[in-house]
Amino acid sequence: MALYSEKVMDHFQNPRNVGKMDDASGIGVVGNAKCGDIMKMYIKVENGIIVDAKFNTFGCGSAIATSSMATEMIKGKSVEEALTLSNKAVVEALDGLPVHKIHCSVLAEEAVRAAVKDYYDKNGIAYDKEQFCDHDCAHCHEHDHE
Ligand code: FES
């Protein structure tokens, strides 16, 4: 079996929604301290719905593929729904990732959450702070793949 699914290769080689968004409603930047990869996620929100999403990922192929898929999955969804997007759902949508690459998908989940938090902060929308952690997410998710 190939190490990477066709979908992973497709989203890595032809990433959707790459780029910068000048009129973003929320921007999330997250990084993985271990590998040094960085992901920046932009969302545009209208009436509580994510009408557009873009990303820039300075990282590995799996990080690019998962951020590409994550942007596709949150477009058209409400911000609350986007918050429930899990790295597992992104990995499933890509037909899987090798175990040692699961942490890359965690970066995509965290980038979406960070962008939503930024949107909430910028618009004075109240939220439960416990929904978002401020510390090193890579540390929390270290054992996600187990
Ligand atoms: Fe760092 Fe994939 S190796 S996100």
Report which protein residue has its CA nearest ligand 1's atom 2.
Answer: 104
Report which protein residue has its CA nearest ligand 1's atom 4.
Answer: 104
Where do the structural domains in the chain lie, given as residue ranges?
6-141
Model pLDDT, residue 135: 56
Length of the chain measured in residues: 146
What CATH class does 6-141 carry?
alpha beta
Q: What is the pTM of this model?
A: 0.89
105 CB near ligand 1 (under 6 Å):
no
pLDDT digit of tens for each residue in the chain (146 aa)?
Answer: 579 999 999 999 999 999 999 999 999 999 998 899 999 999 999 999 999 999 999 999 999 999 999 999 999 999 999 999 999 999 999 999 999 999 999 999 999 999 999 999 999 999 888 778 655 555 555 555 54
Which pair of structure tokens corresponds to residue 72? Answer: 């596709």
Which pair of structure tokens corresponds to residue 40? Answer: 């920046």
Sequential DSSP letters for 73-139: HHTTSBHHHHHT--HHHHHHHTT---GGGHHHHHHHHHHHHHHHHHHHHHTT----GGGS--S-HHH
Model pLDDT, residue 140: 57
59 CB near ligand 1 (under 6 Å):
yes
35 CB near ligand 1 (under 6 Å):
yes
Model pLDDT, residue 66: 98
Model pLDDT, residue 54: 98
Model pLDDT, residue 133: 65
- Atom in ligand 1 nearest the alpha carbon of residue 37: 1
